[in-house]
Amino acid sequence: MVNLVEAINFLPKVIDITLKLALLSVAIFFGRIAVSGWRGKLDFITKMISTVFIGFVCFVVGILFPFDFLPQIKFVSEMLNSLIVAIIIYVILALLSIKNKPDIITKKDIAGVEKEIDFLKSEVAKINNALIQKGIEPKPATEKEVRKAIKDALLKAGIEAYTIESMKFADNFWNANVNVGGKNYIAVVDSAGVVKEFKKQGFDFSDIFDRLKKDKFFLAGTVMAIVFLIFTFSLLTPQNLERVSETFSFYGFKTNGAQCLTTSNLLEMWNNNQSRVDGYSYDLQKIDSAIDGYLGENLYSSPFLYDKQLIVSSNGTYGAFLVTNESVDTMTKSLTVLQASLLSNQGYLCSVNLKSGDVCDCSKLSDPQVAVQITTLLKNYSK
């Protein structure tokens, strides 16, 4: 019997962990679909973080989407909406990361190129050996020659004002850090003193505008992303946000703030003998009104759960109230009503800030986690 009671007490934690893992799995599923649209390479850590984060974005926006494919099964409609969001993000990421494909090279071409490279390597080796035998060692361009080469290259581009901040010779190439108009570049100069490349360092918004002008795929992805963001922000109404809150509450995540104790928290405190029953005060009429406003219905009255022994947090701030159409005025009556409400799946249990009268959370008695906790409470109280 003791083992059975311990198993019942442990069951809420098992359900809570299972629901959280289920939500994480859903997020990873949609996240993998969306992230697979990115055409660039991602390291493992970045890919995992992006998958989970974008997956949750897909899930949340899917809840906000107004499309009801199966109104009678809300969960299925939300999953289909999330799949649509994942596909949209997949297309956006694909368009933003797509690169212009190079000309098609056949295996025959590759074999020919490799053969030519091998030939050139052998010729270079012969030349180097001949130079060494004659005591002639090829010398790379001096720093002075490299500076002149950079200067000539910039003058041809119409640039006269610049600063060479540092230079380094490695792997038969000179790399010079050049500042032009406040922007940093790396000038790559070969050992013969020929400027091969100017590479811009860091991020520059002008690069984005240049790419928008030149890359039609990037432009299409940017426009699509902006339209998607505008549409998503238009869905952030109080009603939709409440839907998101309810959905995450189902998975065991309460979205009313870190300082807000839920009904589940208070029931757990009661079952672990961490609640208190004295030294609290509250305005029942004010709480009645707050609960009715929170639920948006006037189907029930809202008497406190236990007469003179309300479930209260250890700091005396939050209390649990039973919302039912039965009047509760004694301890025995409160337990009877709670048990009857639990069996009929009718009524709510609400957590309220006793000082401010603000409702923190209202859970249906049919909620599996709350139902198990209440069953445990009734068993413990009957001992």
Domains in the chain, please, with CATH? Answer: 2-99+218-244 (no CATH), 139-204 (3.10.450.630), 257-382 (no CATH)
Q: What is the CA radius of gyration of the chain?
A: 34
Is the distance from CB of 370 to CB of 264 less than 8 angstroms? Answer: yes
Q: Is the dihedral of CA 317, 321, 327, 328 positive or negative?
A: negative
| Measured distance CA(375)–CA(366) in Å, rounded | 12
Is the distance from CB of 186 to CB of 231 less than 8 angstroms? Answer: no
| Measured distance CA(383)–CA(374) in Å, rounded | 15
- Residue 83 confidence (pLDDT): 93
342 membership: H or E segment, kind and range: helix 331-344
Q: Tokens 């020919």 map to which residue?
A: 112
Amino acid identity at 366: S
| Measured distance CA(107)–CA(147) in Å, rounded | 42
| Measured distance CA(225)–CA(39) in Å, rounded | 16
Calculate the dihedral angle through the C-alpha atoms of 304, 305, 310, 312, rounding to the nearest 10 degrees. -100
What does each of the 383 residues of the chain score in pLDDT, given as a tens digit? 446 656 666 666 777 788 888 888 988 999 999 999 998 888 889 899 999 999 999 999 998 887 777 766 777 888 899 999 999 999 999 998 886 544 444 445 555 655 665 666 566 666 666 665 666 656 677 888 888 888 888 888 788 888 888 888 877 778 888 888 777 888 888 777 777 777 777 656 666 777 778 888 888 989 999 999 999 988 887 667 767 877 776 676 655 444 577 888 888 877 777 666 555 677 878 888 888 888 876 666 555 554 445 677 766 778 888 787 776 666 666 667 777 777 777 778 888 888 778 888 888 877 777 778 777 777 766 65
User: What are the backbone angles phi and psi of residue 307, rounded to the nearest 5°?
Assistant: -65, 120
Amino acid identity at 208: I
Is the distance from CB of 34 to CB of 93 less than 8 angstroms? Answer: yes
- Residue 115 confidence (pLDDT): 64
- Residue 319 confidence (pLDDT): 82
Residues paired with residue 247 on neighbouring β-strands, in sequence order: none
Is the distance from CB of 89 to CB of 58 less than 8 angstroms? Answer: yes
**3-state SS, residue 48:** helix
| Measured distance CA(297)–CA(291) in Å, rounded | 9
| Measured distance CA(276)–CA(270) in Å, rounded | 8
**Structure tokens, 40:** 């660039």
* Degrees to nearest 5, angle at CA 207 with 205 and 208: 70
| Strand duo 183-190 + 195-200: pairing | antiparallel
82 membership: H or E segment, kind and range: helix 74-97
Q: Is the dihedral of CA 268, 269, 270, 272 positive or negative?
A: positive
| Measured distance CA(316)–CA(157) in Å, rounded | 75
Q: Which of 258, 229, 256 is nearest to 244 (CA)?
A: 256
Amino acid identity at 89: I
| Measured distance CA(204)–CA(177) in Å, rounded | 17
Q: Tokens 């035998």 map to which residue?
A: 133
**3-state SS, residue 326:** coil
| Measured distance CA(184)–CA(163) in Å, rounded | 10
Give whole-number Cα distances, 62 to 22, 25, 53, 141, 228, in Å.
16, 15, 14, 61, 12
**Structure tokens, 13:** 């934690």
Residue 355: partners with Cβ closer than 8 Å, 6 or more residues away: 282, 317
Residues paired with residue 359 on neighbouring β-strands, in sequence order: 352
| Measured distance CA(39)–CA(42) in Å, rounded | 9
